[in-house]
Amino acid sequence: MIKVGIVGGTGYTGVELLRLLAAHPQVALQVITSRADAGTPVNRMFPSLRGYVDIDFTHPDQARLEDCDLVFFATPNGIAMQQTRALLEAGVKVIDLAADFRIKDVAEWGKWYGMEHACPDLVAEAVYGLPEVNREQIRTARLVANPGCYPTAVQLGFIPLLGAGLIDPAHLIADAKSGVSGAGRKAEIPTLFSEASDNFKAYGVPGHRHLPEIRQGLARVHGNPVGLTFVPHLTPMIRGIHATLYGRLNADADLQALFEQRYANEPFVDVMPPGSHPETRSVRGANRCRIAVHRPQGGDTVVVLSVIDNLVKGAAGQAVQNMNLMFGLPETTALENVPLLP
């Protein structure tokens, strides 16, 4: 059994991790930390876990994380980098669901996240946890930077086109929409029900923290820097990301065949039939990305539609997928649940 600890178990990604790990046949949950709720039974805060998770939250100062085989950080940015070195030295593997280890340029990371990095040498070691790109490196990693939700949807949509050299890399557009759970489980005015419900708005147009992460990933595929305009939006739903991606074609090709071939052996990417329009509800609760590719009026613009559940393939599910790879388990273990509908 894999002895697992979770740092920051009271947020949406934390409880999603608990939901998935509670059904994992090779996982033993050892400790779940919370400063404010130490001593509270986990299933009292989250009644959906009654009968599945029967431990209490532990204060971080009392948590023996070094006794775990793997620790997930489901914490705000800047927390994991303070504790990861000691865990690695104790032989514990780490998956960070925040952004502490995603961006290789530490100065660029500091610019977007407003703090100095505590362990830049570990940033260089960390493997970016997008299995569809870095599967073999993840298998041997001791530190994985779990991708962000927007970056997962956007990269999976653009990768086949950039990899084949079929689109102009200088003029990429990602128009993405997210449910309010993407903002986390905290009380803030923009995500209050009366503010977010029956409303739709863009945000972060001058620059969003996920922009450098997306550009970094696409540049690795292309081999050179890319030009990307990324505009996120907040939608009045709880879960889901819908990314509409635009590129200018510079060569003719069978785009449907390109996507089908690129993802033919990927268990969690579903390339839909020609003419499809994937919906966020079709992936709700599942570790899956559904993609459709269009070429409107046969012109020189390609439109890719990419949908994920931001809490699963965009966060906790992808983290479990990475854990499975790191411990030599079948990649799909505990992740083959059918999406929820309606």
pLDDT tens, 56-107? 999 999 999 999 999 999 999 999 999 999 999 999 999 999 999 999 999 9
CATH code that applies to domain 149-309: 3.30.360.10
Please state, for a pLDDT cut of 70, what percent of the chain lies above it: 100
Q: Are 19 and 49 in contact (CB under 8 A)?
A: yes
pLDDT in tens, 160-196: 999 999 999 999 999 999 999 998 888 788 888 999 8
Q: According to the model, what pLDDT value does residue 305 have?
A: 99
* Cβ–Cβ < 8 Å for 60, 84: no
Q: What are 295-320's pLDDT values in tens digits?
A: 999 999 999 999 999 999 999 999 99
Residue 265 has pLDDT above 90, yes or no: yes
Using DSSP's 3-state secondary structure scheme, residue 59 falls into: coil
CATH code linked to domain 2-125: 3.40.50.720
Radius of gyration of the chain (CA): 20
Tell me the percentage of the chain whose pLDDT exceeds 90. Answer: 95
Packing angle of the helix pair 131-139, 317-326 (nearest 10 deg) = 40
**What DSSP assignment string belongs to 209-254?**
THHHHHHHHHHHHHSS---EEEEEEE-SSSS-EEEEEEEEBSS---
209-249 tens-digit pLDDT: 999 999 999 999 999 999 999 999 999 999 999 999 999 99
The pLDDT value recorded for residue 185 is 86
In the chain, the amino acid numbered 301 is: T
DSSP string, 166-221: -B-TTSEEEEEEE-GGGG-SS--GGGSHHHHTT--EE---S--THHHHHHHHHHHH
CB 139 within 8 A of CB 326: yes
SS3 label, residue 8: coil
Q: Identity (one letter) of the amino acid at 3?
A: K
Q: Which residues are catalytic?
A: 149
Q: Which helix (H) or strand (E) holds 271?
A: strand 269-271
Considering the chain, what is the average pLDDT of its residues? 96
Instruction: Give CA separation, 104 vs 114, 132, 153, 322, in Å.
Output: 16, 19, 20, 19
- Per-residue pLDDT at 294 exceeds 90: yes
Which residues neighbour 110 within 8 Å (Cβ) at sequence distance 6 or greater? 116, 117
pTM of the model: 0.97
Q: Given this chain, do its domains 2-125 and 149-309 carry the same CATH topology?
A: no
Please state the domain extents for the chain: 2-125, 149-309
